Amino acid sequence: MIFIEKKIFLFLLIFFLLFLPPLGQSLGMYYTLHISALIGIYLLLILGLNLILGFVGLLDLGFIAFYACGAYLSALLSIRGWNFCLVLPATIILTVLLRLLLGLPALRLRGDYLAIVTLGFGEIMRLVLNNWDGLTNGPKGLPRVGEAISSPKFFFLTFQSDLSFYYLILFFVILGIIVSRRLDNSRIGRAWIAIREDELAAETCGINVDKVKLFAFCFSAIYAATAGVLYTHWIKFISPESFTFWESVLLVSMVVLGGMGSIPGVILATILVIGVPEFLRGLLGTQLVNYRMLFFGLGLVLMVIFRPQGIVPSKRRELELHPSNE
Amino acid sequence: MFFQQLLNGVTLGSIYALIALGYTMVYGILLMINFAHSEIFMSGAFFGYFFYQLFSRISFFQEKIFFFIFFLFLCSMFSTALLGIFIEQVAYKPLRRAPRLAPLISAIGVSIFIQNFFMLFVSNQSVAYPQIFPLKKYNFSLLEINSLQIFIIFLSISLMLVLRFFIQYTKLGKATRAVSQDRETASLMGINVNRIISLTFFIGAGLGGAAGILNGMYYGSIKYNMGFLPGIKAFTAAVLGGIGNISGAMFGGYILGICEAFTAGFIPGGAEWKDVFAFAILILVLLLKPSGLLGTQLKKV
Amino acid sequence: MRKFAFLLSFVLSLSTINYLLSTAFLGCAPKKEAKKIVRIALAAPITGDLTAMGQGMKKSAEMAIEEANKSDEFEGIKLELVPFDDRFDPKEAVNVANQIVSDTKIVGVVGHLNSGCSIPASRVYAQHNLVMISPASTNPKLTLQQLEPSWQWVRNVFRVCTTDDVQGSFGADFAWGKLKLKKFAVIHDKTPYGQGLAEEFAKQFKKIGGTVSSFDGIIVGEKDFKALLTRIKADKPDGIYFGGVYNECGLIIRQAKELGLNVPLISGDACFSPELIKIGGPATGNNYITMVGASPERLPQAKEFLEKYKTKYPKVDSQPYDHYTYEATKIILQAIKMGSLEKKEIIETVRKIKYNGVLGETAFDEKGDTLNKVISVYKIKEGKFIPLN
């Protein structure tokens, strides 16, 4: 294990991601593809949340609201016959605008107050989706009877089959990871970390704190919206049940479990949290499967107690001062 | 009808306020959102049910309804409080020095665990709650009130007054306030911080337990997943009143209860939108007066 | 990075082992028996907020399979039920559906409970020619989607429950014609089932000349409806119609009585459970529940089912969708008995089937909806459901 070089490892990972689902498909294990795709969609969400929670250190308990927004907007546009090439940017722009509207007043708040405002916003979003029957068809979900969400089409490429769609998701995930890494190592990424460590000190160093925070806040919405668009086109039917408060909580716990601000960490945590329940399903058999969530809860507690800094703690973060560690 | 709706709101608000106290006290001391508090509330209701089953077999209690209710509340609140301390010792105490979000995740884990534990090993169906309190109706010209509503409002207000007195005037209460202001300095003054934190969980969980029993008595049935919604509402109430502030939590609870009753009770179709109103008010209050309605400016976290 | 590499390979190997194990478990059935193993999957919320209903579905499906195994009607076949937990969550439902189609021994699916899960999952089953009979999803879209051009697969979706329009309008006719009530307050729980039922009720009730004094949604999981009921009381309705599940229904009945709103309440089949009486207490008397299928008094099969259920699970209250699940499982079994073990054949057999069971005679129209539109009414009296017609 020690001799594995970084490049070989990356190569192996890509190989695995590229060929595991088709392999499962050919062996008749169709769920490998679906779980891989779901992990991919969640990875996008997690990378987005990691941006704001991990890099800037702002707790967002309503991140799922923007995922829901992306999913519903893209469904509404796709039903009206828009091409995927237009649906994706339009959804992203609208979601980011919404995020901006929330962020402008909310980012003035500090610490946990921001968390509470986002929590409230998340709940409002879900309730509005459930109650605004005229637009969202309420609890009955979209698309309505007689409508359909078409498969994504890029000029001459059509992502009709599940497998090709999986590669589309994979493409966005890899793009997301690259962008995330770039941001982390950029000037603005360093500004985020400065803000996380000490906002006041950052400001005196000439960082425009409000602007930089707002940028992170809105940028994370791009991830959420993309994940939402992909989810809608993958499942092809959405209803408000998918966007509960618990989803937001799950996302936050994935980021903390993985190690805040650590990209490999959050990727691992996502694979674990989305994959492990499925893993337990196979292992526990039909009788014990009811105990799955019990074990999951226990696992979360044990994990945090024995490794509170996350599975793969971010190197940079480990060197920081923590107010609670004084 | 106005007064009737006000009564509906106040009864609901009393229960919210009791739960909100648990959130606010823990937040005041540990700066942590105790997600497991909603499950403590739920287990309180179940403890009440178990003690009812136990006490109804003891002949001493058959006649004396006052003692019956008194001991029922005392025992169940005490057991719930012990559960609260147990959770604190197992899941939060090892995390005192961990990054700030770690206890939050631990709390989520505990919450999932307790809920599933009750579902798997106690009951996955609704449990009918016994009619402990003799129900009588009183009719005034403006409103109709029953004995149970009076009991709920009376009990929750007196519990809150006792708590207020305790925090304000006793030595332990002073110590609690000192810890919530500055943990380090308090420990330098010879206060056993760990014990104070345990005490906070003890009191908060006890009050949550009382709210659980009242909820069971009022609505007549309990279920393993009953905690989630009141939990999140009570948390909202705590923030509304100014989190970390004890009178604020009570105030917030009543405001939220009355606001809910009025939206559902006066606006046609309002019942499905009342939570939207509640959260919208929460956001507006936080944006305009971030420390909550009664709060003082919180120091930067 | 090395640590990360190590951990990731750990996870990946774990998941590989999982794949291997699960296929091993599913693949190597006991070899001693010469009998051919045929599996039926049950997809329901076995954990989560609706666990009681899901567990009820599991119990009744198990009962059907056990009976079939005991009888000697299935020669050379050993039937097995494989329960899958969708946790009431659409993405979990699609997960489960993919697991189900991966098991080649599964020939049919009974499930899911809510339409939000059934609709996305049904596409997965369709791609693999697997028959799906939903015992409880009432969203019209579930079967209608099969007629849309985007549905390129076989029409595999059936349901033994009716859509909302049948039951809702029956409730309206019953309230107007039999009970002679003129003014109704309608409440629903903002789920596809409850809202659909309430909308159909209100539509029909207005059509035949009644007044709907108010139309309100509530939030599932909420416990306090006093404010809403106080407002409804001021309108002085003759009755309340509720579209939703027994939890909220019981609470509404109880709180209405506490407020002195002594009018009958009518609700649909999701309230047909002793749990309603447990939650509502003595206040549940003189209320009405509509239910698909003829009453058990007239149907010997239904009576037999109830008795068997009581003897097998004496401590558990029956759940609203037990009958439907039992019936759905029986229909798939019937199709297997008629000689088809090929997945596609089963779909065609089910389409043509005429089955006499606990719900009366069930047959399916071209969409897959049941043609059995008999609805019976139960009056609650002293904690029991008394059939009226």
- CA angle, residues B216, B218, B220, in degrees to nearest 5: 55
Q: Considering only A166-175, B114-123, C66-75, which range has the smallest mean pLDDT?
A: C66-75
pLDDT over 70 (residue A259): yes
pLDDT band at residue C4 using 50, 70 and 90 as cut-offs: low
Q: What is the pLDDT of residue A256?
A: 87
Tokens for A140, please give them. 């009955």
Instruction: Please give the single-letter amino acid code of residue C381.
Output: K
CB contact under 8 A, A298 and B243: no
Which residues of chain A neighbour B280 with C-beta distances below 8 Å? 120, 124
Peptide bond into A233 cis (omega under 30): no
Tokens for B56, please give them. 């109804």
Tokens for A143, please give them. 């698309």
User: What residues pair up with A107 in beta bridges, in sequence order?
Assistant: none
pLDDT over 60 (residue B297): no
pLDDT over 90 (residue A20): no
Tell me which long-range contacts B59-68 makes (C-beta under 8 A, separation of at least 24): B65/B134, B68/B132
3-state secondary structure of A87: helix
CB contact under 8 A, C230 and B4: yes
CB contact under 8 A, C116 and A241: yes
Element containing residue A213 per DSSP (H, E): helix A209-235
- CA angle, residues B77, B83, B85, in degrees to nearest 5: 105
pLDDT over 90 (residue A262): no
3-state helix/strand/coil string of chain C = CHHHHHHHHHHHHHHHHHHHHHHHHHHCCCCCCCCEEEEEEEEECCCCCCHHHHHHHHHHHHHHHHHHHHCCCCCCEEEEEEEEECCCCHHHHHHHHHHHHHCCCEEEEEECCCHHHHHHHHHHHHHCCCEEEECCCCCCHHHHHHHCCCCCCCCCEEECCCCHHHHHHHHHHHHHHHCCCCEEEEEECCCHHHHHHHHHHHHHHHHCCCEEEEEEECCCCCCCCHHHHHHHHHCCCCEEEEECCHHHHHHHHHHHHHCCCCCCEEECHHHCCHHHHHHHHHHHCCCEEEEECCCCCCCHHHHHHHHHHHHHCCCCCCCCCHHHHHHHHHHHHHHHHCCCCCHHHHHHHHHHCCEEECCEEECECCCCEECCCCEEEEEEECCEEEECC
Q: Could you say which of A12, A28, A241 has the minimum Cβ distance to residue C88?
A: A241
User: What residues pair up with C380 in beta bridges, in sequence order?
Assistant: C385
Number of Cβ atoms within 10 Å of the Cβ of A89? 11
- Between B37-55 and B193-219, two packed helices, what is the crossing angle to 10 degrees? 60
In degrees rounded to 5, what are phi and psi of residue B137? -110, 140
Mutation target vs C (from A126, A129, A241, A280; most C CBs, 10 A cutoff): A241
Domain locations along chain C? 36-162+297-372, 165-292
* A67 touches B at CB < 8 Å: no
* Shortest Cα distance, chain B CAs vs residue A195, angstroms: 13
Q: What is the mean pLDDT of chain B?
A: 89
pLDDT over 70 (residue C258): yes
Separation CA B8–CA B78 (nearest Å): 29
Instruction: Please give the single-letter amino acid code of residue A218.
Output: C
Question: pLDDT digits over A200-232, tens only?
Answer: 888 898 889 999 999 999 999 999 999 999 999
- Output A316 or B17, whichever has higher pLDDT: B17
Which residues of chain A neighbour C14 with C-beta distances below 8 Å? 279
Q: What is the pLDDT of residue A303?
A: 85
Element containing residue A11 per DSSP (H, E): helix A6-26
Residues 52-81 of A with CB under 8 A from C: none
Separation CA C110–CA C99 (nearest Å): 14
Which residues of chain A neighbour B241 with C-beta distances below 8 Å? none
Q: What is the pLDDT of residue A220?
A: 95
Residues 141-170 of A with CB under 8 A from B: none
Could you tell me if B216 and C254 are in contact, meaning their C-beta atoms sit under 8 angstroms apart? Answer: no
Separation CA C362–CA C385 (nearest Å): 23
pLDDT over 90 (residue C265): yes
CB contact under 8 A, C190 and A146: no
Please give the CATH superfamily to which domain C165-292 belongs. Answer: Response regulator (3.40.50.2300)
Question: What chain C residue is nearest to B221 in terms of C-alpha separation?
Answer: C279
* B269 touches C at CB < 8 Å: yes
Could you tell me if C210 and C178 are in contact, meaning their C-beta atoms sit under 8 angstroms apart? Answer: no
Report the Cα C339 to chain-centroid distance in Å.
Answer: 27
Could you tell me if C46 and C83 are in contact, meaning their C-beta atoms sit under 8 angstroms apart? Answer: yes
Q: What is the pLDDT of residue A320?
A: 63
* Shortest Cα distance, chain A CAs vs residue B62, angstroms: 39
Question: pLDDT digits over C331-357, tens only?
Answer: 999 998 887 788 888 999 999 999 988
Separation CA C336–CA C332 (nearest Å): 6
Cβ contacts below 8 Å, chain B against chain C, sum to 102
Which residues of chain C neighbour A35 with C-beta distances below 8 Å? 95, 98
Separation CA C164–CA C184 (nearest Å): 18
The residue written with tokens 């039917």 in the block is A237
Question: What chain A residue is nearest to C142 in terms of C-alpha separation?
Answer: A145
CB contact under 8 A, C223 and B226: yes
Question: pLDDT digits over C206-225, tens only?
Answer: 999 999 999 999 998 889 99
Q: What is the pLDDT of residue B296?
A: 60
pLDDT over 70 (residue C6): no
Separation CA A109–CA B216 (nearest Å): 37
Could you tell me if C241 and C211 are in contact, meaning their C-beta atoms sit under 8 angstroms apart? Answer: no
In degrees rounded to 5, what are phi and psi of residue C23? -70, -35
Question: What chain C residue is nearest to B266 in terms of C-alpha separation?
Answer: C231
Q: Of A25, A55, A3, whose CA–CA distance to A265 is shortest? A: A55
Q: What is the mean pLDDT of chain A?
A: 86
Please give the CATH superfamily to which domain C36-162+297-372 belongs. Answer: Response regulator (3.40.50.2300)
Separation CA A65–CA A221 (nearest Å): 10
* Shortest Cα distance, chain C CAs vs residue B132, angstroms: 14
Residues 108-137 of B with CB under 8 A from A: 108-117, 120
Alpha helices in chain B (DSSP H): 2-30, 37-55, 60-63, 65-87, 102-121, 147-169, 171-181, 183-188, 193-219, 228-241, 246-266, 274-288
Tokens for C239, please give them. 């009755």
Chains that touch B (3 or more CB pairs under 8 A): A, C
Q: Quote the ipTM score.
A: 0.89
pLDDT over 60 (residue C29): no
Domain locations along chain B? 2-228
Q: Could you say which of C22, C23, C123 has the minimum Cβ distance to residue A236?
A: C123
Q: What is the pLDDT of residue A1?
A: 41
Which residues of chain C neighbour B126 with C-beta distances below 8 Å? 52, 247, 250, 275, 278-279
- Please, which residues have CB within 8 angstroms of residue A106's CB and are 6 or more apart in sequence? A114, A117, A118, A121, B283, B287
Q: What is the pLDDT of residue C2?
A: 52
Over range A57-63, report the average pLDDT. Answer: 90
* A290 touches B at CB < 8 Å: yes
Number of Cβ atoms within 10 Å of the Cβ of A136? 21
CB contact under 8 A, A29 and C145: no
Separation CA B262–CA B5 (nearest Å): 7
pLDDT band at residue C34 using 50, 70 and 90 as cut-offs: low
Which residues of chain B neighbour A294 with C-beta distances below 8 Å? 112-113, 116-117, 120
pLDDT over 70 (residue B294): yes
C-alpha torsion sign, points A134, A138, A142, A143: negative
pLDDT band at residue C12 using 50, 70 and 90 as cut-offs: low
% pLDDT > 70, chain A: 91
* C52 touches B at CB < 8 Å: yes
Q: What is the pLDDT of residue A326?
A: 36
User: What residues pair up with C378 in beta bridges, in sequence order?
Assistant: C289, C387
Q: Could you say which of A140, A141, A235 has the minimum Cβ distance to residue C91?
A: A235
% pLDDT > 90, chain B: 52
Question: pLDDT digits over C175-203, tens only?
Answer: 999 999 999 999 999 988 899 899 999 99
* B4 touches C at CB < 8 Å: yes
- Please, which residues have CB within 8 angstroms of residue C151's CB and are 6 or more apart in sequence? C126, C145
pLDDT over 90 (residue A57): no
CB contact under 8 A, A297 and B287: no
Q: What is the pLDDT of residue A308?
A: 81
Over range C130-149, report the average pLDDT. Answer: 90
* A275 touches C at CB < 8 Å: yes
* A300 touches B at CB < 8 Å: yes
Question: pLDDT digits over B220-259, tens only?
Answer: 899 998 998 899 899 989 988 888 888 889 999 999 999 9
CB contact under 8 A, A297 and B111: yes
Over range C49-75, report the average pLDDT. Answer: 88
* A241 touches C at CB < 8 Å: yes
3-state secondary structure of B111: helix
Number of Cβ atoms within 10 Å of the Cβ of A39? 21
Could you tell me if C94 and C34 are in contact, meaning their C-beta atoms sit under 8 angstroms apart? Answer: no
CB contact under 8 A, A31 and C140: no
Q: What is the pLDDT of residue C88?
A: 87
Could you tell me if C240 and C263 are in contact, meaning their C-beta atoms sit under 8 angstroms apart? Answer: yes
Q: Could you say which of C217, C223, C250 has the minimum Cβ distance to residue B271?
A: C217
Separation CA A141–CA C90 (nearest Å): 11
CA distances from C123 to A136, C44, C149 (A): 21, 17, 13
Q: What is the pLDDT of residue C57?
A: 92
Could you tell me if C248 and B36 are in contact, meaning their C-beta atoms sit under 8 angstroms apart? Answer: no
Separation CA A196–CA A204 (nearest Å): 14
